[in-house]
Structure 1
Amino acid sequence: MRIGELARRGGVTVKAVRYYETLGLMVPDRLSNGYRDYDERDVRAVAEIRELSQLGIRPRHAGPFVDCLDAGHEHGDECPASLAALRDSIAELDRTIDSLAARRAVLAARLSEGASRSFSNREDSQVSDYTTLPAGLPQPADDGAADHLPGSAVPPITLASTAGGDVDLAALGPGRSVVYLYPLTGRPGVDLPAGWDDIPGARGCSTEACDFRDHHQELADAGVRNVWGLSSQDGDYQREVAARLALPFEMLSDEGFELADALGLPTFAAPGHERLYARLTLVITDGVIEHAFYPIFPPNTHAQQVLDWVRSHPE
């Protein structure tokens, strides 16, 4: 068969086949006219090399696997040399993982130190690493509960702010504002509701707040006039959170779920809480909901998602 057919059957490019030849992984016969002539052995070799590449084993390390196939084995990983190559690849991955873990630890330490300098005047203060979430959290499904929101006018509801005043949601001013709604922020020494991590979308309020904190200036640079956090927690609770996480924006308390009732927003119940806000973010422009983010997952990178949307949708 010709090189084009081999590339098509092997799922690679003609250029890739020629590269494999330079590595000595295949040596095609030559026809009387000088054209390369490939056979089924070459098809198997190309398929093996491609599969190994998808696993991170580069073609230049595929020789033992191709040799194993040439020796008559059904699979390329049945020979001692190819098994040794697999062990070498695993060892290389382990070294890479260890290196990345060490780099992450250094970056996390610098994040904590930098955040402490940026958001607090206390020399001994430390901002916790809220950049990660527990593994295996259930992802919320889109049940359509926010589909009706874009284009809706924001109702004239006045809520208490952590700055000590009141905020009228219908009068946030010209331009864009971002209001992110969340169910419940954890507090040191206070237990979260039982089974909290098993409720899709419940866990991660502190991580979300910190992500909005860390991207606050970028959002402002992108044209966002204000960022507000909103939940049903009382003002004292909100103020503690805003101070502990060093948030550069105000938090709003809607203990009576006025906004939820006025706009038909999704809520849910949890042990010890008859009603909580589902995680949802509103982009409000000139008193009208321009966009609604729902469901939100993972929350620890949601501010970046909002920033990307704002940048790609200039006013």
Structure 2
Amino acid sequence: MRIGELVALTGASVKAIRYYEQLGLIAPARKDNGYRSFDDHDARAVSEIRELASLGVSPQQAAPFLECLGLGHDRGDDCVSSLSVYRDTIANLDRMIGSLSERRIELQRRLNESAERTFTQRSNMTDFTLLPEGLPVPDDDGAAGHLPGMHLPNLVLPTSDGRRVSFDALGPGRTVVYLYPLTGKPGVDLPEGWDAIPGARGCSTEACDFSNHFDQLRQAGAQRVYGMSSQSPEYQDEVVQRLQLPFTMISDESLAVADALKLPTFAAPGHERLYSRLTLIVRDGEIEHAFYPIFPPNTHAQQVLAWLEQHPA
């Protein structure tokens, strides 16, 4: 076959094929007119080189794999010499990952330091228990009226502390799960027009209110308190650490719980679906009470506390 046919068969570029030939990885025959003539062996070699490259094994390291194929083995890594290339490549990747991780940590440190410095300089709102004035109040559209009496779905979800919880088996007694759309953090902008969306603003203030009343909630019969959103566990962990929350967050990035329980959600710029602010009182896997809509969020934990005190288990 000619080089154009080899390109079509393997997906490699003409330049790449000529480079492989320069490295001695393939050795096409020459016709009387001087054109290269490639065969099935060359096509297999080119495909092997490309597959290895996709894994981080450079063409310069591919020779042992091609030699292994040339000996009649079904796979290029059936030979011991190929395995040593794997080990060397893994070691190089580990070094790269370590270096990149160190860079990321330093960049994140500088970002947080700069953002917090800028935030302090430009904003008088340093108390997370406060909210801006004039926020729109969400309407009660009845979207949570069906929840009392429902059982939690059988879903296993990750948490901000690196663990996983069975959502239908949070534990005996009462559990408070407050759902929120998203929390901001230094250096990361909130969606455009966030404050104009009824019930959107106030996730950090709500978290702080639950933190401030955590011991009282426990004394009133809440065995556990969880925050829950569709943000990643890593993002949630940053919030838990920064706000020094005494409880963990549950991450539901696919909004599986929302789908199972038909919970209210909304869209915002850059976010197709977010949880509407809602709090569940769960008792032995069954929803006992639902708070919805929630406003203002910065005093909502006190509302939950009052309900628990008025409805002792």
SS of the aligned residue for 1:252 comes to: strand
Give how far 1:151 is off: 0.4
The residue correspondences of 1:83-122 to structure 2 (distance < 5 A) are none
1:216 paired to 2:214: yes
Identity %: 67
Give how far 1:171 is off: 0.5
Give how far 1:209 is off: 0.3
Distance in 2, Cα, partners of 1:249 & 1:131: 17
SS of the aligned residue for 1:170 comes to: coil
1:235 paired to 2:233: yes
Name the counterpart of 1:194: 192
Question: TM-score, normalization: structure 2?
Answer: 0.60
SS of the aligned residue for 1:305 comes to: helix
Distance in 2, Cα, partners of 1:245 & 1:168: 25
Question: What is the Cα-based RMSD across aligned positions, in Å?
Answer: 1.1
Name the counterpart of 1:153: 151
Distance in 2, Cα, partners of 1:228 & 1:288: 16
Distance in 1, Cα, partners of 2:223 & 2:160: 18
SS of the aligned residue for 2:128 comes to: coil
Give how far 1:128 is off: 4.7
Name the counterpart of 1:279: 277
Residue 292 of structure 1 is aligned with which of 266, 290, 295?
A: 290
Asked if the contact 2:173–2:283 (Cα under 8 Å) also holds between the matched residues in 1, the reply is yes
Question: TM-score, normalization: structure 1?
Answer: 0.59
Q: Which consecutive aligned stretches of 4+ in structure 1 deviate over 4 angstroms post-superposition? A: none
Distance in 2, Cα, partners of 1:289 & 1:224: 13
Asked if the contact 2:236–2:249 (Cα under 8 Å) also holds between the matched residues in 1, the reply is yes
Distance in 2, Cα, partners of 1:163 & 1:199: 30
Asked if the contact 2:161–2:233 (Cα under 8 Å) also holds between the matched residues in 1, the reply is no
Distance in 2, Cα, partners of 1:131 & 1:173: 30
Amino acid in the other structure paired with 1:303: A
SS of the aligned residue for 2:152 comes to: coil
Amino acid in the other structure paired with 2:310: S
Distance in 1, Cα, partners of 2:201 & 2:262: 22
SS of the aligned residue for 1:241 comes to: helix
Distance in 2, Cα, partners of 1:130 & 1:271: 24
Distance in 1, Cα, partners of 2:208 & 2:129: 8
Distance in 1, Cα, partners of 2:233 & 2:248: 11
* CA deviations over 1:165-198 (Å, ceiling 9, x no partner): 1011110111000000000101111110000000
- Structure 1 unpaired stretches of 5+: 1-126
- Structure 2 unpaired stretches of 5+: 1-124
SS of the aligned residue for 2:244 comes to: coil
Asked if the contact 2:228–2:250 (Cα under 8 Å) also holds between the matched residues in 1, the reply is yes
Distance in 2, Cα, partners of 1:273 & 1:154: 25
Distance in 2, Cα, partners of 1:254 & 1:172: 15
Change in Cα spacing, 1:193 to 1:151, as seen in structure 2 (3 Å) is same
Residues paired across the two proteins, number: 189
* CA deviations over 1:89-126 (Å, ceiling 9, x no partner): xxxxxxxxxxxxxxxxxxxxxxxxxxxxxxxxxxxxxx
